[in-house]
Amino acid sequence: MRVDDYHNPQPPFLSNLPMKGAEMPFYDRKRELLILDDLYGRPGGQMLVLYGRRRIGKTALLMAAERGREDLARRLISAGADVNLASVEEVTPLMAACYGGHVGLVRLLLAAGAHTEPLDRMHRTAAVYAAGQGHAEVLAALLEHGVTIDAAYAHGLTALMWAAGEGHAEAVHLLLARGARVDLRDDRGLTAAQIARDAGHAPLADELTVAR
């Protein structure tokens, strides 16, 4: 990591930082989270780079979201971390929390202003990750926040299609109960029932077929 945005005049609290272009310590993900925990536990003022991204392009908040660290995420958000700053792969903290099924963290991020519509480089949203991983509670939180239940993403796939294709019955049942349409088709002309059947989830496909 390099200090590329150093500006003069130098405020007193920056007096001990490296000058522009100087190398700064690099730690792995586990070590970084331990350091953050330690800093937050110390008395007195501490300086923390909230918007900096590691060599792999991940902020501290994104790493906390990936690990389900709601406690650390809450501290970072309280300190002013940008909840929508994505990695170089365009993955947001909300996407990471949805993928991991961390519903408490998802609710925290949404309350802090996390956007639900961004796409990562795989053209997937937070809702796609929640559905694809079968996290029904997370899907419920997203729907309560206003995510459109029948929104079509890459290749015309809806959240219901993602859940059905992965065989996640609980997520499928949640989406059906909330009114998801079963007649929509992806860019291959397949419905959620057909996608489920092609993926080897016959019982779920049967449920979807009769859910009219």
Hey, is 111 helix, strand or coil? Answer: helix
112: Cα separation from own chain's centroid:
13
Distance CA 25, CA 108 (A): 30
Mean pLDDT, rounded, for 61-72: 94
Residue written as token pair 């970072």: 76
Work out the burial of residue 138: count CB atoms within 10 Å of its CB; fewer than 13 is exposed, 13-18 middle, 19 or more buried. Answer: buried
pLDDT tens digit string along 21-57?
A: 433 344 455 666 666 666 666 665 444 444 444 445 7
Q: Which residues have C-beta within 8 Å of that of residue 27, sequence separation ≥ 6? A: 35
pLDDT tens digit string along 140-195?
A: 999 999 999 999 999 999 999 999 999 999 999 999 999 999 999 999 999 999 99
